[in-house]
Amino acid sequence: MGRETASVGIHTGSGCFKGRGAIDGSSQQVAELDPPQQTQPILARLGAEYFIRLGNKNKNNHRAPSDMHLDSSLAVSKRALQLQLTQRLLEGKVGNIGRFVSYAHQPDDSTDRERRSEEPPISLDLTFHLLREVLEMARAEQLAQQAHSNRKMMEIFGKHTSRSRWPVVPLKMYSNDHV
Amino acid sequence: MSCNSRAQLCFLLLSVTALRGQSRYLDAQENEISSEGLFALLNSELKRELPEEYVYRRPLRCLDMVAAEGQFTFKADHPQLNCAVFFIGEPNDIISIEYDSININCREGDFIKVFDGWVMKGEKFPSSQDHLLPLYERYSDYCDSGEAHPVVRSSQNVAMVFFRLHQSGSSFSITFRKVFNPFPCNVISQTPEGRFSMVIPQQHRNCSYSIIYPVEIQIGELSLGHHNDLKRSIHGCAGARDFVELLGGNGVDTSKMFPMADLCYSFNGPVQLKVGCDNTVVRMVSSGKFVNRVTFQYRLLGHQELAKLKRNSVEDMCLSG
């Protein structure tokens, strides 16, 4: 069974034209992961680029309406798998993280600082794709933490104001048939 | 302190805190402002935090991105030679990194360095043209100056920490805080959609707003000085010293990106441009003579739009339309 592949992500190869060469380049190491029921994901590594290859290569295929439900659930599962892989990457379970960090030269001579080139001494070789992934994860963490923190604040100030000495004005309620 | 002067001092404090919008922190329980309350109020940064037990804490990873304030601890269970953490805040924040407890061996070659900006694939944001400090001053090394200066602040809403630990068992803890910045210059957007108003108040500097997605940008208003300050030139924007440019590129360094549009006279009413690049930047160049302001919003380009841009473009660089 010929299984075709396509790259997924927010920008599937139709971004900046310059970048396409790297995307369509030859593959190097390939590691297989636990396959979900319908598709078999393959994590391919091209230099410093990570792509998830799933499903049907020909994304320009004209799809029948009955396939739309399958498409959306497939898209969701692709996305969930992608985030999971990024999470595993960050935890160091996939490949060597240190590969991403490169050093132009070691800054050790303070007198040379003025003449040092504009090349930053330490750099990180991430693709934009991976950068966006980790950014989205960090943002989700921040929003969850903000919500948690707001709840805590409300609890603290709630306890605080209940002990305040603001006078309580008793409300008089008049019913409609009161003369 | 006499009763009268204390009352005057309290009144002054009330006025100051009311103007700063922090009167809600006054403890009105005993109808008196305690002395702890007095000093705590004047330290606005202290009051932005929750009590100690509510500080967010989590372990730091060798490759990490952090957007939430809190305390982050890295423990090396094996030698970790190449680690980098990105920090990002809202556009109106600057990053503050404080060294809490550091257990590393500087003599053995361990280091923790804070970089004022982001570095990716050899390129840095903000670029040297847009940042006020030279490159070597943008790195702070704990082993050189960490003891004397335990708090490092960035100049914009992004910063990075690079570290190397040779021995298992080494560890360090840092606290990440965000500090309000009323006039942000140089921002990386956390989201592919949003809106922003960049103001350069009579400063001779260049500021970039970077969106690391292909987006459609809509510029709602551009104000370069007053209406009659800058005349429209028939020669385009060549020679203009106050202008806004839209850039597109595949890296984070704005000086290596391609200009998509130049705007050098004030206008109202939307100007739209789609930029099909990995990085889209709105950059304002300011001479310092005027107060310059640009207001814009942006949204992510979909697959179809990107495909259409590619079909309609003949140039071998970032696509625009």
A17 vs B318: CB contact, 8 Å cut-off? yes
Nearest to B84 by CA among A95, A134, A101, A96: A101
Give Cα separations from A143 to A101, A147, B152, B253 (angstroms). Answer: 28, 6, 25, 28
B52 touches chain A (CB under 8 A): no
Structure tokens that stand for B174 in this block:
């840092």
Give Cα separations from B213 to A93, B74, B268 (angstroms). Answer: 27, 30, 26
Nearest to A131 by CA among B76, B219, B251: B251
- The residue in chain A having the minimum alpha-carbon distance to the alpha carbon of residue B119 is A123
Would you state the pLDDT for residue A30?
37
B275 touches chain A (CB under 8 A): no
pLDDT in tens, B188-203: 999 999 999 999 999 9
CA pair distance B60, B117, nearest whole angstrom:
19
SS3 content of chain B, % helix, strand, coil (to 5): 20, 40, 40
A123 vs B119: CB contact, 8 Å cut-off? yes
Map residue B76 onto helix, strand or coil: coil
Residues 220-259 of B with CB under 8 A from A: 248-250
Cα-only R_g, chain A: 27
Cα-only R_g, chain B: 24
Inter-chain contacts counted by CB atoms under 8 A, chains A and B? 157
ipTM above 0.90, yes or no: no
Structure tokens that stand for B313 in this block:
């473009």
Closest CB from A12, A16, A146 relative to B303: A12
Please give, rounded to a whole number of angstroms, the shortest distance from the CA of B154 to a CA of chain A: 16
Does B314 score more than 80 pLDDT? no
pTM for this predicted structure: 0.69
A122 vs B278: CB contact, 8 Å cut-off? no
Please give, rounded to a whole number of angstroms, the shortest distance from the CA of A166 to a CA of chain B: 9
Cβ contacts (< 8 Å) between A12 and chain B: which residues? 303
Q: What string of pLDDT tens digits covers the 179 residues of chain A?
A: 433 333 333 333 333 433 333 333 333 333 333 444 443 333 333 333 333 333 333 444 444 444 555 556 666 676 767 777 777 766 665 555 566 666 654 444 444 444 445 566 677 788 899 999 999 999 999 999 999 988 988 888 887 776 665 555 666 555 555 44
